Chain A
Amino acid sequence: MKLDRTTITRVLAALAGLLGGAALFATDRQSTIVTGISASVPYCLVALGIALVFKATGVFNFAQGEFGTVAIFALYLARFWFPWVGYVGAMLFAVLVAVGFGLLVERAIIRPLSEAPRVTLLVATAGIALLSIATQIWLGEAQARNVEKALSRENRFNVLGINVSDQRVLGIIVMIIVVVALAAFFNRTSLGLAVLASSQEPTATELCGISVKRVSALVWGLSGLLGGLAGVLAGPTGTFTPGQLTSVGLVPGFTAAVLGGITSLPGAFLGGILISFIQALGTTTGSSIKGGPAFFTFLLLAGVLLVRPQGLLGGKR
């Protein structure tokens, strides 16, 4: 997906429409807008991971949320077991664990099933997600925990009268760096092109000397990285329980990816922000409906898939 003028225009237009819509319809405008943007980090990163895996392998990765939850737990444990590496060291450890998880999943499950129908792989990743959640419940019990933030100041930034914590701002900054880096990777580096090539034509790619196995490992490792970042950046902003990022982020993440056009990385990013808005809207405006966010998300997903299945920025697949 090229980061060209059309894409950028569409992204900006969508964002503008979003802000405008929120400003007009939201009951608590400031809260909706500010929360919508600042809480978008986990949704965007999960959506990016989903879009990446789908674009490169055609698989719907239901374990994407768990990459994040595993990272949160790893961060928590690292602070508990070896506080002497410092917070940054702990974050690094957590992200590495998530990457390792991604690589393990690729090697143990995805590769043996590489010839299987995509639906089978979906079920397999769902099974992995459940296994991960079950293990967390087993080892950690179903209680809510808290891990301290990277940056704890809450009132440095104030937008539209609402305080945005340092942690959230950090998340947004890292997220933007990641998105730009990914775009550069896919558009400009030969490795990135190799990934795209192997997704469309694995046999020919092999013949060109590119190892499809390595590419597959790279993709899933990247996906683990994205998941890990989501966990590490967003996890500390609240309490977390086993399966946190799956129960909170999986359905919205998928909706976001589909919204943006499941093969478009900038689209996934845009979709993440959109979904974040919808969730915020659901909490404020839709507070009279029980489970407002879930309801709005469902309507949005059904609507998009019915009306424009290729999403906002997706081309035909």
Chain B
Amino acid sequence: MSVAAAPRLAASAGTASIAARLPRLAVLGVIALVVVGAPFLTDPVDSTRFSEAIAFAVIGLSLNVLLGYVGSISLGHAAFVGVGSFASAYMVSQQGQPFVVGVVVAALIGGAQAGLLGILSLRVTGLYFALITLAYGAMAQDTLFGIDSLTGGGAGQEAPNPFGPSAFRAYYFLSLAVLGLVLYVDWSLMRSKAGRALLALRENPRVAASLGIDVKAFTLLGFVISGTFAGIGGALFAHNVGQANSQVYSFNLTLIFVIMTVVGGLRNRAGVVVGSALFALITYVIEKVPGLAGRFENADSTIPVIALLVFGGILVNEAVGGRLGQRPRLAVQILCAIMVLLALAIIAPGTVPLAETQLRELPALTPEIGRLVLGPVLLLVVLTRLPGGIGQLITPFSRWIGGHDFEWSSGKVEEVQVNDVRA
């Protein structure tokens, strides 16, 4: 998903010669080919998964504006998105408006709602504001989305595909275009005075004020932009699924949004896009890779797979922490030992005297749950070890494509910085 790489090209054209640019262009071409060609290399239905990934990417970008640029935390982002979904669904299915109008209304209402919360954030700061967004999200799901006339009640509100019920591929390209637009506006914003003002007020509001920046006004602007993007993402999401249903916009979903944005890497557009798409596509990938899904369905294999994952995770952790080759810590050794024992108990019954029957009864780790489990684990790894998230890993590549030399540490981030202000 390197649509995001394109803006970076112009932002920092490096010093490579024409000859050196050829391999870079080739790589860029391959990525573009994959992104554009994916729908044609797979079943038409699969394109709905890709479209969902794009919707997630837009949502991730919207949360990135709030979390990464403004520095305000929202624990009710599912509500921002849901508002957009329902607004668009309502406009199209109940008011008979074309899709474009639906998206525009979703954007406007999303922005307005976010603006209201933004006004609240001016009075209530930091962690307390996080609480308010949490309560708001809970309230929205129960009360706002419970207004049956607007939201269709339990059955949800219909949100039809503008190209027709089965035009999955067409919808994918539409989503791609919308993502491109959102990326452009985001990129343009951050290069302009508003973007600089946001970055300044996030990091150091006192200094920002002394430089003439109206902190309150720009904070509100950031909220409105975030809500607008979220509304658009919500519309894309709903019309892809075919309906907007209040069950979907839960606290769990908000957590997934926050996690995918932080894991993607704050203030790193490419990272956020890739991270969000990844979260949306994990289940798809597991299903498609031959043999992998089978491993999850069969409980016999679940434990060894988990053991492998944990092993791998520990190895990565140790490597990133620079401890590979040294003697592992006691806790690590114990953990590894337990994992090995469990795996043996399943694979080779009899070697380890354990009550196998109960272990065998463990339910399968379905891809859905896999995502729910993997998400927080990735989050915790990022928070403790890889503050720049996926973006930190992508930046060396995108800078290389842009003409600079390849440098592993160019994406390095000191810590996951949201906001300096304490509650």
* Least CB separation from B136: chain A residue: A298
Chain A min CB distance to B374 (Å) = 9
A255-B136 Cα distance, complex, nearest whole Å = 12
A131 within 8 A of B: yes
> How many A-B pairs fall under 8 Å by CB?
150
B144: min CB distance to chain A, Å: 9
Q: With A and B bound together, what is the CA distance between A305 and B126 in angstroms?
A: 12
Pairwise interchain contact A123-B262, C-beta atoms closer than 8 A: yes
A-chain residues with CB within 8 Å of residue B185 when the two chains form the complex: none
Which size class do B's interface residues fall under? 35 or more
Within 61-93 of B, Cβ neighbours of A (below 8 Å) are at: 73, 75
Counting CB contacts under 8 A, is B123 at the interface? Answer: yes
Q: Are A124 and B128 in contact (CB under 8 A)?
A: no
Q: Contact at B132–A294, with CB atoms within 8 Å?
A: no
Q: Which of B142, B146, B255 is within 8 Å of A130, CB to CB? A: B255
Interface locus among A9-17, A111-119, A173-181, A217-225: A111-119
The residues of A that contact B415 with a CB separation of less than 8 Å are 116-117, 120
B134 within 8 A of A: yes
B7-15, B29-37, B283-291, B362-370 - interface stretch: B362-370
CA distance A139 to B262 in the complex (A): 27
Does A183 make an interface contact (CB < 8 A)?
no
Inter-subunit contact B418/A119 (CB<8 Å) = yes
Within 8 A of B (CB), among A202-251: 246-247, 250-251
Are A294 and B376 interface neighbours, CB within 8 A? Answer: no
Known contacts A113-B384, A119-B130; A127/B376 CB under 8 A: yes
List of B residues within 8 angstroms of A135 by Cβ: 373
Contact B120 A112 (CB under 8 A): no
Residue numbers in B under 8 Å from A298 (CB-CB): 132, 135-136, 138-139
Looking at chain B's contact residues, the main secondary structure is helix
Q: Are A258 and B142 in contact (CB under 8 A)?
A: no
Q: When the two chains form their complex, are residues B372 and A137 in contact, meaning their CB atoms are under 8 A apart?
A: yes
- Residue from A113, A127, A251, A290 in contact with B146 in the complex, judged by beta carbons closer than 8 Å: A290
* Chain B contacts for A247, CB-based, 8 A: 251
Q: How extensive is the interface on chain A, given as a class?
A: 35 or more
Q: Which of A126, A301, A306 contacts B255 (CB 8 A)?
A: A126
Q: Is the CB of A291 within 8 A of B383?
A: no
Query: Which one of A112, A124, A138, A306 has the greatest number of beta carbons of chain B within 10 Å?
Result: A138
Task: Let me know if A128 is at the binding interface, CB within 8 A.
Answer: yes
B379 touches A124 (CB 8 A): yes
Query: In the complex, are the beta carbons of A306 and B124 less than 8 A apart?
Result: yes
> A290–B383 contact, CB under 8 A?
no
- CB-CB under 8 A for A290 and B143, given A123-B383, A127-B255, A306-B123: yes
Q: Residue B41 at the A interface, CB < 8 A?
A: no
With the chains together, A171 CA to B332 CA distance in Å? Answer: 39
Interchain nearest-CB distance for B345 vs A (Å) = 17
A129-147, CB under 8 A of B: which get 1 and which 0? Answer: 1110111011101000000
Which residues in window 408-423 of B have CB below 8 A to A?
A: 415-420, 422-423
A109 in contact (CB, < 8 A): yes
Residue numbers in A under 8 Å from B130 (CB-CB): 60, 119, 122
Q: Which residue of A is nearest B383, CB measured? A: A124
Inter-subunit contact B372/A133 (CB<8 Å): yes
With A117-B418, A127-B380, A138-B369 as given contacts, are A254 and B375 in contact (CB-CB < 8 Å)? no
- A309 and B125 alpha carbons, distance in the complex (Å): 10
Is B124 in contact with A139, judged by CB distance below 8 angstroms? no
A8 on the interface (CB 8 Å rule)?
no
Contacts of B177 in A (CB 8 A): none
Least CB distance, A136 to chain B, in whole angstroms: 10
Cβ < 8 Å to A, chain B residues 102-144:
120, 123-124, 126-128, 130-132, 134-136, 138-139, 141-143
Q: For the complex formed, measure the closest distance between the CB of A52 and the CB atoms of chain B, giving whole angstroms.
A: 16
In the docked arrangement, what's the CA distance between A301 and B134, Å? 10
- Inter-chain contact A117/B380, CB cutoff 8 Å: no
A303 to B59, CA, bound (A): 29
Q: Which residue of A lies closest to B373 (CB)?
A: A134
- A58 close to B (CB within 8 Å): yes
Tell me, yes or no, whether A302 is within 8 Å of chain B by CB.
yes
Q: Which residues of A contact B256 (CB under 8 A)?
A: 130
- Are B369 and A118 in contact (CB-based, < 8 A)? no
A297 within 8 A of B: yes
Q: How far is the CA of A131 from the CA of B372 in the complex (A)?
A: 7
B377 within 8 A of A: yes
- Cβ of B258 < 8 Å from any Cβ of A? yes
Is A87's beta carbon under 8 Å from chain B?
no
What separation, in Å, do the CA atoms of A133 and B368 have in the docked complex?
13
A251 to B251, CA, bound (A): 11
Which chain B residues lie closer than 8 Å to A317 at the CB level? 423
CA distance A250 to B138 in the complex (A): 11
B252 is an interface residue with CB less than 8 A from chain A: yes
- With A124-B379, A294-B138 known as contacts, the answer to whether A58 contacts B422 (CB < 8 A) is yes
In the complex, what distance in Å separates the CA atom of A302 from the CA atom of B419?
21
B18 within 8 A of A: no
Measured between C-beta atoms, what is the minimum distance from B307 to chain A in Å? 15
Does A119 contact B127, Cβ atoms closer than 8 Å? yes
Tell me if A289 is interfacial: C-beta within 8 Å of chain B: yes
Residues A294 and B255 in contact in the complex (CB < 8 Å), given A117-B418, A128-B376, A302-B132: no
Cα distance A294–B141 in the bound complex, in angstroms: 9
Tell me, yes or no, whether A186 is within 8 Å of chain B by CB.
no
In the bound complex, how far is the Cα of B369 from the Cα of A135, in angstroms? 8
Distance in angstroms from A36 CB to nearest chain B CB is 19
Interface readout for A178-210 with B: 1 if CB under 8 Å, 0 if not?
000000000000000000000000000000000
Chain B interfacial positions (CB closer than 8 Å to A): 73, 75, 120, 123-124, 126-128, 130-132, 134-136, 138-139, 141-143, 146-147, 251-252, 255-256, 258-259, 262, 362-363, 365-366, 369, 372-373, 375-377, 379-380, 383-384, 415-420, 422-423
CB pairs A–B below 8 angstroms (30 shown): A117-B418, A119-B73, A119-B126, A119-B130, A119-B418, A120-B415, A123-B73, A123-B418, A124-B379, A126-B75, A126-B258, A127-B376, A127-B380, A130-B375, A134-B369, A139-B362, A141-B363, A250-B134, A255-B135, A289-B143, A290-B143, A291-B141, A291-B143, A291-B146, A292-B143, A295-B142, A298-B139, A301-B135, A302-B124, A302-B135
Q: Supply 15 further A-B pairs (C-beta < 8 A) apart from A254-B135, A289-B143.
A: A117-B415, A120-B383, A122-B73, A123-B418, A128-B376, A130-B252, A130-B376, A134-B373, A134-B375, A251-B138, A294-B143, A297-B138, A302-B120, A302-B135, A305-B132
The 10 A-B pairs with the shortest beta carbon distances in the complex, nearest first, are A291-B142, A290-B146, A134-B372, A131-B376, A127-B376, A298-B139, A127-B379, A291-B143, A298-B135, A294-B142
